[in-house]
Structure 1
Amino acid sequence: MMIQRLSRKISYAKLLLTGGFILYLLFAIASPIYAQRFEFSGSRKKQSIPFVLVKNLIIVPVYINGKGPYNFLLDTGVAQMIITDTTFLENLDLKKAQTVKVQGYGFGDNIEAVLTRNVTAKIGKATIRNIPTAIFKKDIFDLSNYLGIKIYGILGYYFFNSFSVKINYYTNKLTFYTHDAKIEPKGTSIPIQITGGKPYLSTQIKTDELGDIPVDLLIDNGSSHPLMMESLHDKPFPLPAKTISANLGVGINGIINGSMGRVAEIKLGTYTFKEVLTGFPEYNIGRSTMEGRTRNGSLGSDILRHFVVTFDYTGGSIYLKKNNNEVPKFEHDMSGLEIYVLQGIKDRYYIGRIEIGSPAEEAGLQVNDEITAINFASVIHYKLNDLTEMLKERNGKQLLIEIYRGNDKHVVLLRLKKRI
């Protein structure tokens, strides 16, 4: 039963990240966006640090109240800093903290969070004091098991608003510099608007059914997906002719269902991407009220990763410089299964969810099966990210999956299939 409960939670966490980091933490009853900023000490104006990239998501080391470093996701899709590791509730002085019920975009019970500004955060040589922070009383995301690396929280607006922030996805290097550093960003400049601590842009997409459409998108680099289209003219965004049903995300209090398909084109400045894998969540009329503005969808990191991206919140721009001449191809998982990790001295890999009618179901794989080897190579030779990429590598590719089901060992032939 423990593994069953955990597998469901990990399943939701994966959907959360691949379907758009739908984390509407607006905290209407909490404090608004304040003017606190990260600052360098002395005369320093610039710093570069490496980051870890897992499933298109950026993980950086952050010190909290002088302790750490702790792995945090760097995410333009959130405003307040979020701590997901519940042990911080025991270690921080929360005497003046406020406990609230957080209403999210989904279905189910509200989640309790502790709101505090009694936190000092440091990334590299830059420090911020009294940063508004939400600490969840329950780790509903299980990001560590989904990403295969311990995650303690999420850092967003307060970092991006403090600096011009350059993300090089090719070299895994993060460079941030003060606004008076007189460093000219390189690349195509696209205007952005900051609302509720989050960046938005206006652009154009094309669908086979509707032709060219002007759209407003949230820029969400904390989401693994390429694109999500949610609404058009205050109605659900029209689905393309070919889609598959999918769980696209999880909000603070529930799963978000929808469909997966493709958009013919999206333009970003001088760049055009074709046949873009796109999620179409069920329409929720209350989302724009929670966010404080209307939008058609969100732009995720599976597109952003093809650029050196510079965010300039105070200048109202994002700069995109192509990092290679590769023609991007956007592929959905071709197996129909998702894998999560139970971390320990030896990481163990389990199947958390299997899609109905998928190659994984046809092959006879089951939820809670432990994967021990692929093509006769032990999974200890792989990272979770490697296994995920392997499952969307090529249509028709065959994999021999060795699994344990209870005490019984099985070897299953899995043939990957492009489903969308």
Structure 2
Amino acid sequence: MIKRCFIFFSFVILCQFTFAQSAFRLIRTESTRIKFQLIDNLIVIPVEVNGLQLSFLLDSGVGRPILFNIINTSDSLKLKNVESILLRGLGDGGSVEALKSTKNLFKIGDAVNVNQDVFIITDETINFTPRLGIPVHGIIGYDILKDFIVEINYGSKFIRLNNPKTYKYRICKICETLDLTLVESKPYIDATVTVNERDIPVKLLMDSGGSDALWLFENDSLGLVPENNKYFIDFFGKGLSGSVHGKKSKVSKFSINNFHLNNVNVAYPDSAAISFARKYKERNGSMGGELLRRFNIILDYKNEKVTFKKNNRFNDPFEYNKSGIIIEQDGVRIVKEIENNSQFKNNQTQESLSRLSVIEAYKFMLKPAFRIVELRPNSQAERVGIKFGDIILSVNNKEVQHLKIQEVNAFFREKNGKLINLKIERDGVIMRFSFKLESLL
């Protein structure tokens, strides 16, 4: 997630508005509504940076905006006042080299900041685009959330930025309002998890940049351990500092005041990968997108409170990837397709019946290549012979060139026992495999 009139527009903004500090302001309005894409439980919004329209993840777990995947746009961005720094984040590696740029112009809907700091990750391997299947150029969180009362409507897929001075709360008897604790620009709430028949209070980061439902930091003394010792080891994803692995399990119940959800997916990340995240000693984990998307949310950083309201996804079952296959969009492949306007020829003679001949025309298209980049050891997929690096061509007779990456992943989250038929390409050879999804919990 490219304004032709940017030069004129920015000139007007800079002449009429002078902001003493780094802050977003609404221009001639009390609120602005921005549509977003919801992909793998993550919010992707359009953000204009120095006149160039890009796509950002809305990540409540980050402070200053971070840019990456900008090789083809770096010249157009015109970043200012650049210096080298080191950044540290989730993952089992160390710090990553980055650049810091100041005094940039950011625009989100009708909200503008003319003095925005931004960090730029130069490592090309740190890139959300292959996992999400659409271009994603950065992450933004606290710097936009702190200046407004923010409505996140997961049901209708939009956010609304409201002026805190004029915003009026509506009476909502079916909502739950909680205190919000802000620590180093990150929002935390109190919740309860039920594990091994124990109700355990937990303090969780509200993490809209995490696609999983719930992360808990394993702690024997608190009882934060896989329920009934049932779990499997899996790949969670990549942070700024490398890959994150750990245990996946279930909790019997997750509660926010009077809102209760049963049989919720939980991940217990390896302690080495989250050592940096545990600097805040009271933190017990994170509430991620798979939970957050079940609510419409009002974030009020100024008054340190958050309001939850159930939406129509509240009772969706908590499924997980049972195949052991993780795919990325890795380049493109050439696909041969029949033209829709194939020609028809009418052959008719006096001595024969009329015949209708079809002259088929083909075209060659470039389509995304979905490559297997992680394969859980001893998974059903691995057992039948599927390998790391295989390119998926079809799933259950549906050609993947017609599907989005999240639609392909949805096949792997089907119910236990579902038959999966894959056609794959390996070193130019077409192969077919079948296996049944197997619940590991």
Using structure 2 for the length normalisation, give the TM-score. 0.82
**How far is the alpha carbon of 1:91 from its aligned partner?**
4.5
**How far is the alpha carbon of 1:38 from its aligned partner?**
1.3
- Select which of 415, 419, 431 maps to 1:410: 431
Partner Cα distance (1:342, 1:212) in 2: 44
**How far is the alpha carbon of 1:94 from its aligned partner?**
5.2
Partner Cα distance (1:286, 1:394) in 2: 31
Partner Cα distance (1:144, 1:339) in 2: 12
Secondary structure at the aligned position of 1:324 is classed as coil
Pairing 1:6-85 to 2, within 5 Å after superposition: 36-42=22-28, 44-68=29-53, 70-85=54-69
| Contact 1:78-1:157 at 8 Å conserved across structures | yes
Kindly indicate whether residue 407 of structure 2 is the aligned counterpart of residue 379 of structure 1.
no
**How far is the alpha carbon of 1:49 from its aligned partner?**
2.0
2:292 alignment partner in structure 1: 304
Partner Cα distance (1:250, 1:120) in 2: 29
Pairing 1:74-223 to 2, within 5 Å after superposition: 74-87=58-71, 89-93=74-78, 96-184=81-169, 186=172, 187-208=175-196, 211-223=198-210
Secondary structure at the aligned position of 1:302 is classed as helix
Partner Cα distance (2:273, 2:393) in 1: 44
| Contact 1:89-1:135 at 8 Å conserved across structures | no
| Contact 1:117-1:131 at 8 Å conserved across structures | yes
| Contact 2:200-2:222 at 8 Å conserved across structures | no
- Select which of 216, 234, 238 maps to 2:225: 238
Aligned length: 384
Letter in 2 for 1:296: N
Taking structure 1 as reference, are residues 41 and 326 closer, same or farther at Cα in structure 2, changes over 3 Å only?
closer
| Contact 2:417-2:436 at 8 Å conserved across structures | yes
Taking structure 1 as reference, are residues 286 and 154 closer, same or farther at Cα in structure 2, changes over 3 Å only?
closer
Taking structure 1 as reference, are residues 47 and 103 closer, same or farther at Cα in structure 2, changes over 3 Å only?
closer
Partner Cα distance (1:273, 1:370) in 2: 37
Cα RMSD for the two superposed structures: 2.3
Higher RCO structure, 1 or 2 (CA under 8 Å, sep 6+) = 1
Taking structure 1 as reference, are residues 307 and 145 closer, same or farther at Cα in structure 2, changes over 3 Å only?
same
Pairing 1:220-299 to 2, within 5 Å after superposition: 220-232=207-219, 237-240=224-227, 241-284=229-272, 287=275, 291-299=279-287
Secondary structure at the aligned position of 2:130 is classed as helix
Taking structure 1 as reference, are residues 343 and 285 closer, same or farther at Cα in structure 2, changes over 3 Å only?
closer
1:351 alignment partner in structure 2: 372
Partner Cα distance (2:376, 2:270) in 1: 18
Using structure 1 for the length normalisation, give the TM-score. 0.85
1:18 alignment partner in structure 2: none
Q: Percent identity?
A: 27
In structure 2, runs of 5+ residues without a counterpart are 1-19, 333-365
| Contact 1:288-1:295 at 8 Å conserved across structures | no
More divergent stretch after superposition (234-243 vs 115-124): 234-243
**How far is the alpha carbon of 1:105 from its aligned partner?**
4.0
Secondary structure at the aligned position of 2:401 is classed as helix
Secondary structure at the aligned position of 2:103 is classed as coil
More divergent stretch after superposition (366-375 vs 83-92): 83-92
1:390 alignment partner in structure 2: 411
Taking structure 1 as reference, are residues 363 and 238 closer, same or farther at Cα in structure 2, changes over 3 Å only?
same
| Contact 1:230-1:236 at 8 Å conserved across structures | no
| Contact 1:196-1:291 at 8 Å conserved across structures | no
Secondary structure at the aligned position of 1:159 is classed as helix
Partner Cα distance (1:93, 1:182) in 2: 35
**How far is the alpha carbon of 1:189 from its aligned partner?**
0.6
